[in-house]
Structure 1
């Protein structure tokens, strides 16, 4: 621990700046300017250099960029697909879930779609939340509630809630796709205006 602190100081800006100023003191000594007080001059210049050196600052933490985040979401989406394949859903709900996962898969498709999505951090967050939280929780609560409903018939069917949840999630994914489409449309319009202005 102490050794690392010493090594850290030796590599610090304060020591390097002080050392450069101390070398200037030695130059003054060899040219005869410092005279008999050269140790004080060298030490003083070293200290002054160490004091004026900019302080060390810790490096800011690095976080994965949106593209790397999307790679992680894709991996989790594959896990989600394995989980959903083992869940027994009524045909209508299975179709609704397939529509949702198909839309999520299209949004997570590597390539230019992912490049557009990577420029929209909120969109990455929306997809991440849907894959890692919303869809698995909706399906899992349906499975557990359906088991209890069999023990207590006459209550509201859990299928109604799952259908509503999947509808909301599908609408949310459609809104995200619409935002991305609009962004590309604006980009196309901007390029058209640029070309038209250039030709004038």
Structure 2
């Protein structure tokens, strides 16, 4: 048996409960109750204590804290900003990207909005999907499709798809912001009701 196994057993609930019962057996021995069979009494009480002790529970998995996930998302957002500064997009798409950037920046800015966001896994997931997948994929697909359109003219313009995709992302992010605002509004109304009821 390895030293780590021995130290785990010594710190286990079974050993602690068995030792407590074994000490009770020693107390019985010193008072003369156990008589000549004191080793059997002590061992029996130790075994009974070890058997009745609650089983060891494995530690729950250590998933990342929501605030840590928010920090990672902020770092990814900064990466996305750097990428978008280098990509050439039409003026209409650039304006929409600016609006999305402003919205994401406000939602991810450290403060009360970020605290509220950290408590809403669905909203956090929606923002992560927009930053890590939706926006970069829309822009990258546009850049690649535009190149093919130049050598095979007459196809549907990729700008239309880019603008529609960005509009859908912006719409989803606006919904997230509205839902967070609604959460705060409900909280405010709840506090008003509490104060009104307390004053009666």
Q: TM-score range by the shorter chain?
A: over 0.9
RMSD: 1.4
* TM-score w.r.t. length of structure 1: 0.94
Q: Cα deviation per residue 1:84-132 (whole Å; 9 max; x = unaligned)?
A: 1111111111111111111111111111111222232211111111111
1:195 and 1:34 mapped to 2: Cα distance? 66
Correspondence list, 1:17-166, <5 A: 17-166=17-166
2:156 and 2:133 mapped to 1: Cα distance? 24
SS at match of 2:59: coil
* TM-score w.r.t. length of structure 2: 0.94
1:40 and 1:153 mapped to 2: Cα distance? 95
Aligned-pair CA distance for 1:196: 2.8
1:45 and 1:116 mapped to 2: Cα distance? 53
Matched, 1:196 2:200: no
Gaps of 5+ in 1: none
1:65 and 1:77 mapped to 2: Cα distance? 19
1:57 and 1:159 mapped to 2: Cα distance? 57
2:8 and 2:192 mapped to 1: Cα distance? 55
Q: Cα deviation per residue 1:125-175 (whole Å; 9 max; x = unaligned)?
A: 111111111111111111122222222222112111111110000000111
2:199 and 2:48 mapped to 1: Cα distance? 61
2:11 corresponds in structure 1 to: 11
Gaps of 5+ in 2: none
2:184 and 2:31 mapped to 1: Cα distance? 69
Q: Closer, same or farther in 2 for the Cα pair 1:110/1:22, shift >3 Å?
A: same
1:181 and 1:73 mapped to 2: Cα distance? 21
Aligned-pair CA distance for 1:74: 0.7
2:104 and 2:34 mapped to 1: Cα distance? 75
Aligned-pair CA distance for 1:11: 0.8
Q: Cα deviation per residue 1:7-38 (whole Å; 9 max; x = unaligned)?
A: 11111000111111111111111111111111
Q: Which moved more, 1:53-62 or 1:118-127?
A: 118-127
